[in-house]
Amino acid sequence: MIGSKRRLKMILTFTLLMIPGALSFSVTGYTGGAVTITCQYHREYTTNSKYFCIGQKPYIPMPGWCSDVIRTNIKDKWVKSGRLSLYDDTTASVFNVTITDLNVRDSDTY
Ligand SMILES: *[C@@H]1O[C@H](CO)[C@@H](O)[C@H](O)[C@H]1NC(C)=O
């Protein structure tokens, strides 16, 4: 049983744009809960800053179509920005993004 707090199931869609052919996947979370998204990247991007942004890629992409919700150049350390945290694991060539205290407005395309 989950307690008295009403928990709403929500779906977040993540499109990985770094990968040619844009891999898209959905992640399900619950209001008040948390989700972690893991993004694998090619080793050549190790020194690049890593970011997570919101927006649906338009047919003709214009600068600023995707707005950053978290961006960092810090490696191998959790970086926190509000409800979001990002960890760039340069050894495994993956970065994890965690969103905590989810609410329905987080349902979006990232
Ligand atoms: C990142 O996510 C992967 C896959 O879920 C996990 O194996 C790894 O331990 C995570 N790294 C950190 C620093 O949390």
The two three-digit tokens of residue 3, written as one number:
């307690």
Percent of the chain with pLDDT over 70: 78
Q: What is the pLDDT of residue 83?
A: 95
Verify whether ligand 1 is closer than 6 Å to residue 95 (CB atom).
no
Residues for the chain: how many in total? Answer: 110
What pLDDT band is residue 75 in, cutting at 50, 70 and 90? very high
Q: What is the pLDDT of residue 60?
A: 86
3-state SS, the chain, equals CCCCCCCCEEEEEEEECCCCCCEEEEEEEECCCCEEEEEECCHHHCCCCEEEEECCCCCCCCCCCCEEEEEECCCCCEEEECCEEEEEECCCCEEEEEECCCCHHHCCEC
* pTM of the entire predicted model: 0.81
> Which residue's C-alpha comes closest to atom 9 of ligand 1?
96
For the chain, which domains are there?
Answer: 11-106 (2.60.40.10)
Percent of the chain with pLDDT over 90: 38
> Which residue's C-alpha comes closest to atom 5 of ligand 1?
38
Q: What is the pLDDT of residue 19?
A: 46
Q: Which atom of ligand 1 is nearest to the CA of 78?
A: 13
